[in-house]
Structure 1
Amino acid sequence: MPAFRQVGEKQLPNPVLCMAWSPKRDLIALANTTGELLLHRLASFQRVWSLPPSEYTGKDITALAWRPDGKILAFSLGDTKQVVLCGVEKAEILHVFPIETPVTCMHWMEVMEENSALSSFYNSEDESKLFLPKLPTLPKSYSTTSKIFSEEKSDEIMNLLGEVRLNILALGGDTGFVELYAYGMYKIAALTGVSGTCRSLSLSSDLKSLSIIAEVRSADNDPEICYSQLDTGLLSDCLPEVTRMARKFTHISTLLQYLHLSLTCMCEAWEDILMQMDLRLTKFVQEKNTSTQVQDEFLELLLWGQSSPELQALLMNQLTVKGLKKLGQSIESSYSSIQKLVISHLQSGSEALLYHLSEVKGMSLWKQKFEPLGLDSTAIEGAITAVGSFSLKANELLQVIDKSMKNFKAFFRWLYVAMLRMCEEHVPPELNKMTQKDISFVADFLSEHFSENEELFDRKGKYFNVERVGQYLKDEDEDLVSPPNNKGNQWLKFLQESSHLKESPLLFPAYPQKSLHFVKRMMEGVIEQCLQKPAEVIGKSVKQAVFLPLYTVPESSENTPRLFELPSLWNDKKAKMHYVVFSMPEISPCKLYLLRRATDPNRHIPNSVMAIDLSQTLDNVDENNAAAQPHLAYSCLDARFYDDEMLTVVLQGPEEEHSGRVLGQLPLASTLSCETEFIWKPNQRLDQQSDAIPSQGLVLGNQWRELENMKAQFIAVNGIRKVACVLSSNLRHIRVFEMDVEDEDEEGAESQNATADQDVLDTTMSSQGQDEDGKEVKEQVEAAEHGGDEFQKTEDNLESEEALELS
């Protein structure tokens, strides 16, 4: 019986560009050339969901990474230069942030360092839940683009932050672009001094160093593969402070998004119907022959009950009694919605933002701890002031809404009665009563709002600004057309007369001429500067500790997809080591090389470079077995670390032998215990001194199987879940294996795998309905029940295999 049990096989319609196993579940994420993200289960390779590309994100997926808890999947888009965080349960986009250059690789790790300061911090972390109410969820009726706050529950920020323990998403790209994001959301370091295009990177779990494999153009313009180790000692030395700061700043950036979405909802609640009054009055002015002012004509109607033929035509033909009633209801409904959003969302969001910023300010004043991380108390003070100004502007809008609602109610009530009289219709007695106070109220409204403004016509194409709320919600830099009238405001008068209070930093500036959008943009800019400074300071503290040029890239590899290509990096948490596995087919095709460095750049490791000789790997050492495996010189197509002590490889025999391709497990214990020391010559690349590298032969025993009828090329593995996924050279043919199956436990293992993620599958299947993929999954489940372990082929598989055989 061959080693490793095959549990699934699939011919895919589109080539796969990235594949990554979940760290916690039997799920694998695939990204294909159309920009579609697919999630498959181990059992018969069933599809759980697919996320199609959208205009909002993009369709050129360049890298994938799972959050260490397996609940969120990050992927980068090359065409739109964005990183997207996607929820695994429901395939919904949770968060998107822009980046400067397309990402070529990403790695998401969790900090594993344990110390007493951290454990006490984790226990007392985030007391904001004791002091701040839960943020109200955004109304679902609005077309907000992000889904962070649209769920029934309102603990979305904590869901995005995940566990209290710090986790960091490392991104690498072209031209030395490397950035670190705490919790996958807040940029905690923007690194400088890295050269070349990142092919792979790995941050150590103790945060002491970052290992990078980069492709660098050498002096003679040949691409070289180089290994760099960067010293990130500041992050590990200040881990409790970094964690606290990162969580605070992640809260702050999420709250900024909450306020932005709340304002988007308010803009949608303010409808264009509110502009109809202004436009109709402008048309009336342009068409009428008389030289009288509009407000005079309305005042004449108010005082004497008489109107000019032009005004009568405007009211009866253009506005109509029915239209006026509808307009009044629309304005009241729209104003009420905006008012609710300001009170429940803008104000609660601003309070939470002030709370977190004030805590960050307190942290910044502890200079011994937080000054090395770039926290600047003066800049944070400015951010607090900006949030205060935004709160003041939101309160000003509430007052304008309140006043406008009273004015419009009185004005529409009077105009409705006047129009009923014009039509000689019955006027309800409850509307007919109008006191002198009501008349003077409407007269004031007409004189203030119905005056013609020639300047306004030049800017907006209308003479009037009857409606005063919309100007606060427009995303323009121009001043308010009708700022609030503050005459007689005793507080403002007191401030102007007080020489000490006028310039006091304790008072938030009000910006009476500016819109709510303008003040919000200003606040976002100030806070953004606060958030960026630590990333710059921490980034500059990171220095290159080691730089090792490995080998030149062979020209023949230009066409192979770089996303899967060796070298491969591994972060050994127990031994606190970085491992790099690579091959040099031009120099020694039958050898696989292993480079290791301590995560602490100051710690020396003997035997830093070793070679694994593959020429005798498949020799059968069983003397009693007559059918011994012939001696073949195998070369390595792809290798990935299965765990700290095992390497999973795809091997290829010499072409002239017509031998198949082999999936195998290489135990590294004997190689790592090699005693021969290799002395690196600093002026040479590794491939120029490869003869001096100590070599160790390995025999696989029964830890291998031939991959029949498949031109296998690439592999993705997960030692925790004991699974492997092999991909063909045309990137469309996939086989999935369980790597560590004991005979007696096969049935139990199979049932365990079938139920491991049933909750995920059930949720998704119920929400997506029985589409074509769902039918295929159902067929495969039934086939698996009847046919045991053997994979039952669907029509698609058969057709694709026939096409493969023909090719």
Structure 2
Amino acid sequence: METEEEAERLTPFQLQFDKPIASQIKIAEWNPEKDLLAMVTEDSKILLHRFNWQRLWTISPGKCITSLCWRPDGKAVAVGLEDGTISLHDVENGKLLRSMKTHIAAVVCLNWQEDADKKKDTSGSNLIYEDRTSRFFPPPPRKPRMPGVVSGDTGFSDDGEDSLRELYNSSHQRFNILCSGDKDGIICFSIFGIIPIGKLNIHDVSICFPQMGDHVSLQLLNASICRVALSTDLCHLIVMCSGELFHGVVGSHDQRMAEPDLVGFHCLLLDTSIFWKRKNELHQVAQQASNVEDLTEVIRSSVSVMCKQWLDAMHTFHEKFDSLSTLIVDHGLDSTPQEEFLSLLGGARTSPPVHQFLVNSLGEAGLKRVAKTVCSTGKELQLIVLDHLQPAAEIICFRMGELRGLSKWRARYQSIGLDTTLFDKATEKAGTLLIQVERFMSVLSSAVQQFSNFFNWLLKSVKILMSEPSDQLPPFSSELVIVFLNFLYDQDPIKQLLDLSDADQSIEVDLEKLERVKELTQFGGFSDCEYLRRSLAKEFQQMESCFKEAFQMPFATISRKILCKDIFPLFPHASLTGLASSVIPASISYYMETSHAISTYQTHEQRVIDYISFIIPDESFSAVPKCIGIIRGFMHDGNNEETSYSSPETVLLCVPDNYHCVDLSLYKENQIVLLLNETSTTPDSPENACIMIVEASNLPFVPIDRSPTSSTWKLRELKDSMVYLQLENEKVRSIPHSIVAPLAVSASRGVACIFAARKRALVYILEEDEDEISDAE
């Protein structure tokens, strides 16, 4: 018995639990900061479980989920969908925080990486940008809620909005980039996961090498991305993809007409050092841009809510008062409701249709209901302006002014695309919107006053017609009744200012007022004097368009500065279509270099080393089946100008006999976790598998001398130096199940979650208890 207990203690990787699952899992990722596991089922539901397997929440986006990753602080999870959308969800409750349509094809991979170093500029000085908005303004307003809608009915709750503000609040975050790749070869970059900052089509990139007087280029076509990974210093992006690799001489007419040299799986190295060099400037711009975008949504929601409320109120008004026109026609009169009301106001005898309308059709109760609806709606609109629309417009003006000031510091911000002219225009548009808000408030107050005065007069008229006392009724102004009947009864200036469908209609402006506005331009007023002819909705559209134009310039500038530095062909495949549709298990990780003897795979001043591991399909290297490739040091030395291409180190592993690799994952301290299924010899054979950890630092890596003109798969040349793994020589734990991908490994927690083919989840502790091991020894 003691011997069995001792053997159990010495068995690597303690099994924490073995739980059944309702549906098979296709994606699984551990939270980087908490003991939480996010899983995606085959029917595209997202499950969040604690380490003890307690389920916290389940959500279903309603679309096929193709990728998932965590924000570096673990407070949000990014989900890539088949239609090209990326959605961000709150870790606390799964609420949708943000949805962005950054791709047009399925988002097959996501990687969210934060800067591993403290914020320093290229000169080494600390630069912490202070957001001064809170000094001058109260907390930013929320979106107004539609009347009658309780929290959560619209998919947006108070708690969800707080989480969204936390997501936007980047002042306390390390600079981070969300990188996404789709099956059509498009890579997108977003700061803090919410501000698009760059885009790259890997079909449009090529790398040129000097070769015997000519420049030889390498270019990928018909590529589909499999995996992307930003380095911890944000200087490089490693991309794994399938595609056709072409070699050619730059400028040759038949360069793209030739047959592809290498069709299969490739590894690309992109230079993203602009993120590292200008991370402080990008952080500042993204912080302002994210808040401006949030406040823009507040304005959009405010205008939408006010427009709907006012249209509903006017529908109630016209639903009652339009019947008067029908009564006038029925009585054979040739007049309008306004003329009939003016006649009543002037003291003339009440016409039969007006008497019937006021006494029978409308009545005192109906009039009071209409009056309450219109007047209360007017007051609600005023509150929305004061509590939401106007504060948002004021803060936007301040923030755009801050960005305008930054754009004038050309030495630092011109390199990331902050254009002074565009931000001058955008700041002016923000100011004109604020003026439009003031005008809207003036028009709204006047309209509400005139409606209230008109209803007070009608109520007194109804009382008189019904021979009831009217001494205690509110007073009214006959002049305002006349103004109302002439300008408001069958017209709607509020709708004209708010409704987007009427946004293109020009508003009549007094010529004298327009001339006074033009005179003000000589004293520093707005250069655009036509804003008085535009509605509030149209002004908002133009402001939003100017914002997009101003922020598009940094996006285009950064996109141009993301370049391809190297292409490494990994293994061939006969069918490119079959390779693109299949899932190649692969893993990319970056580790801090510990040995000063290794210097060939350093990046910039950061001592970071990259490891790339992948399973090679048997049909790719038929002579070397059951093979795993590991590449170390693919990243270039950024300070090395002597060579135009790198010589990474590579090793090929062959899994033990009677096993095949299902999935793999790079672990901490240069370790690789392998999932191996035992090959069944007969249908009745028991289903067994194992989990194995391989020390990559102990493997005999071989440098690969690559030539840019070579059209061969260099990994094939390592056949003679292949390392054959043996179960007795590695850390191995037997699993009494047949297992399937994915493998979810948490380096920060030292755990791995494995999924069995018979719908079970097994969690193993990868970290060994050193005290127990020493006691057992």
Structure 1 residue 174, shift from structure 2 partner: 2.5
Whether 2:92 is the aligned partner of 1:89: answer yes
**In 2, Cα distance between the equivalents of 1:9 and 1:366?**
59
Q: Which moved more, 1:716-725 or 1:133-142?
A: 133-142
Deviation digits for residues 419-438 of structure 1, max 9, x if unmatched?
A: 122122232x222766xxx2
Q: Write the letter of the residue equivalent to 2:140.
A: L
Matched position secondary structure for 1:23: coil
Deviation digits for residues 634-662 of structure 1, max 9, x if unmatched?
A: 43221101124111101134443857221
Query: Does structure 2 retain, via aligned residues, the 8 Å contact 1:3–1:702?
Result: no
**In 1, Cα distance between the equivalents of 2:41 and 2:586?**
22
Query: Does structure 2 retain, via aligned residues, the 8 Å contact 1:222–1:552?
Result: yes
Q: Report 1:313-328 matches (<5 A).
A: 313-328=356-371
1:681–1:189: structure 2 CA closer, same or farther, 3 Å change rule? Answer: same
1:685–1:145: structure 2 CA closer, same or farther, 3 Å change rule? Answer: farther
Query: Which residue of structure 2 lines up, in the alignment, with residue 457 of structure 1?
Result: none
**In 1, Cα distance between the equivalents of 2:723 and 2:715?**
19
**In 2, Cα distance between the equivalents of 1:507 and 1:145?**
44
Matched position secondary structure for 2:18: strand
Q: Write the letter of the residue equivalent to 2:610.
A: H
Deviation digits for residues 451-494 of structure 1, max 9, x if unmatched?
A: xxxxxxxxxxxxx22x432332212145559x4765875xx443
Query: Does structure 1 retain, via aligned residues, the 8 Å contact 2:737–2:756?
Result: no
Query: Which residue of structure 1 lines up, in the alignment, with residue 705 of structure 2?
Result: 679
**In 1, Cα distance between the equivalents of 2:232 and 2:156?**
28
Matched position secondary structure for 1:270: helix
Deviation digits for residues 80-122 of structure 1, max 9, x if unmatched?
A: x321111101211111111232211110000113464499656
Deviation digits for residues 178-204 of structure 1, max 9, x if unmatched?
A: 010000000111124355111000111
Deviation digits for residues 326-377 of structure 1, max 9, x if unmatched?
A: 1111112111111111122111111211111111111111112111111111
1:345–1:63: structure 2 CA closer, same or farther, 3 Å change rule? Answer: same
Structure 2-normalised TM-score?
Answer: 0.83
1:272–1:336: structure 2 CA closer, same or farther, 3 Å change rule? Answer: same
Q: Which has the higher contact order (CA 8 A, sep 6+)?
A: 1
Q: Select 2:283's aligned residue among 243, 257, 272.
A: 243
Query: Which residue of structure 2 lines up, in the alignment, with residue 579 of structure 1?
Result: 611
Q: Write the letter of the residue equivalent to 1:247.
A: Q
Structure 1 residue 147, shift from structure 2 partner: 6.8
Matched position secondary structure for 2:238: strand
Query: Which residue of structure 1 lines up, in the alignment, with residue 478 of structure 2?
Result: 439
Structure 1 residue 598, shift from structure 2 partner: 5.1
Q: Write the letter of the residue equivalent to 1:31.
A: V
Query: Which residue of structure 1 lines up, in the alignment, with residue 557 of structure 2?
Result: 537
Q: How many residues align?
A: 697
**In 1, Cα distance between the equivalents of 2:82 and 2:612?**
26
Q: Select 1:476's aligned residue among 473, 482, 501.
A: 501
**In 2, Cα distance between the equivalents of 1:97 and 1:556?**
30
Query: Which residue of structure 2 lines up, in the alignment, with residue 720 of structure 1?
Result: 748
Matched position secondary structure for 1:656: coil
1:147–1:652: structure 2 CA closer, same or farther, 3 Å change rule? Answer: closer
**In 2, Cα distance between the equivalents of 1:599 and 1:677?**
14
Query: Does structure 1 retain, via aligned residues, the 8 Å contact 2:671–2:695?
Result: yes
Query: Does structure 1 retain, via aligned residues, the 8 Å contact 2:591–2:609?
Result: yes
Query: Which residue of structure 2 lines up, in the alignment, with residue 104 of structure 1?
Result: 108
Query: Which residue of structure 2 lines up, in the alignment, with residue 255 of structure 1?
Result: 295
**In 2, Cα distance between the equivalents of 1:534 and 1:414?**
59
Query: Which residue of structure 2 lines up, in the alignment, with residue 415 of structure 1?
Result: 458
**In 2, Cα distance between the equivalents of 1:516 and 1:704?**
68
Q: Select 1:297's aligned residue among 337, 340, 343.
A: 340
1:128–1:447: structure 2 CA closer, same or farther, 3 Å change rule? Answer: closer
**In 1, Cα distance between the equivalents of 2:766 and 2:718?**
34
Query: Which residue of structure 2 lines up, in the alignment, with residue 794 of structure 1?
Result: none
Query: Which residue of structure 1 lines up, in the alignment, with residue 266 of structure 2?
Result: 226
**In 1, Cα distance between the equivalents of 2:540 and 2:569?**
49
**In 2, Cα distance between the equivalents of 1:189 and 1:556?**
28
1:485–1:286: structure 2 CA closer, same or farther, 3 Å change rule? Answer: farther
Q: Select 1:134's aligned residue among 132, 139, 164.
A: 139
Q: Which moved more, 1:309-318 or 1:2-11?
A: 2-11
Structure 1 residue 567, shift from structure 2 partner: 2.3
Query: Does structure 2 retain, via aligned residues, the 8 Å contact 1:551–1:685?
Result: no
> 5+ unaligned residues in a row in structure 2: which ranges?
1-7, 206-219, 246-258, 594-606
1:589–1:560: structure 2 CA closer, same or farther, 3 Å change rule? Answer: farther
Matched position secondary structure for 2:283: helix
**In 2, Cα distance between the equivalents of 1:68 and 1:155?**
16
**In 2, Cα distance between the equivalents of 1:170 and 1:553?**
27
Structure 1 residue 299, shift from structure 2 partner: 1.1
Matched position secondary structure for 2:190: strand
1:191–1:432: structure 2 CA closer, same or farther, 3 Å change rule? Answer: closer
Whether 2:119 is the aligned partner of 1:77: answer no
Greater fraction of residues in strand: 2
Structure 1-normalised TM-score?
Answer: 0.80
Q: Write the letter of the residue equivalent to 2:31.
A: S
Q: Report 1:632-647 matches (<5 A).
A: 632=657, 634-647=659-672
Deviation digits for residues 254-283 of structure 1, max 9, x if unmatched?
A: 222222223233234335132333354444
**In 2, Cα distance between the equivalents of 1:145 and 1:504?**
47
Matched position secondary structure for 1:501: helix
Q: Report 1:370-519 matches (<5 A).
A: 370-427=413-470, 429-431=471-473, 438-450=477-489, 464-465=490-491, 467-479=492-504, 483=507, 486=510, 489=513, 492-496=514-518, 498=519, 501=521, 506=526, 509=529, 511-519=531-539
Query: Which residue of structure 1 lines up, in the alignment, with residue 625 of structure 2?
Result: 589
**In 2, Cα distance between the equivalents of 1:325 and 1:274?**
15
Query: Which residue of structure 2 lines up, in the alignment, with residue 798 of structure 1?
Result: none
Structure 1 residue 633, shift from structure 2 partner: 5.3
Matched position secondary structure for 1:594: strand
Query: Does structure 2 retain, via aligned residues, the 8 Å contact 1:29–1:38?
Result: yes
**RMSD in angstroms over aligned alpha carbons?**
3.1
Q: Write the letter of the residue equivalent to 1:64.
A: L
Q: Which moved more, 1:700-709 or 1:179-188?
A: 700-709
Q: Select 2:51's aligned residue among 31, 37, 42.
A: 42
Query: Which residue of structure 1 lines up, in the alignment, with residue 36 of structure 2?
Result: 27
Matched position secondary structure for 2:501: coil
**In 2, Cα distance between the equivalents of 1:9 and 1:223?**
42
> What is the identity percentage for the equivalent residue pairs of Structure 1 and Structure 2?
21
Query: Which residue of structure 2 lines up, in the alignment, with residue 284 of structure 1?
Result: 324
**In 2, Cα distance between the equivalents of 1:46 and 1:387?**
49
1:59–1:503: structure 2 CA closer, same or farther, 3 Å change rule? Answer: farther
Q: Which moved more, 1:721-730 or 1:156-165?
A: 156-165
Q: Which moved more, 1:398-407 or 1:222-231?
A: 222-231
**In 1, Cα distance between the equivalents of 2:412 and 2:77?**
33
Query: Which residue of structure 2 lines up, in the alignment, with residue 784 of structure 1?
Result: none
> 5+ unaligned residues in a row in structure 1: which ranges?
451-463, 616-631, 747-807
Query: Which residue of structure 2 lines up, in the alignment, with residue 787 of structure 1?
Result: none
Query: Does structure 2 retain, via aligned residues, the 8 Å contact 1:34–1:59?
Result: no
Query: Does structure 2 retain, via aligned residues, the 8 Å contact 1:121–1:240?
Result: no
Q: Write the letter of the residue equivalent to 2:589.
A: W
Query: Which residue of structure 1 lines up, in the alignment, with residue 251 of structure 2?
Result: none
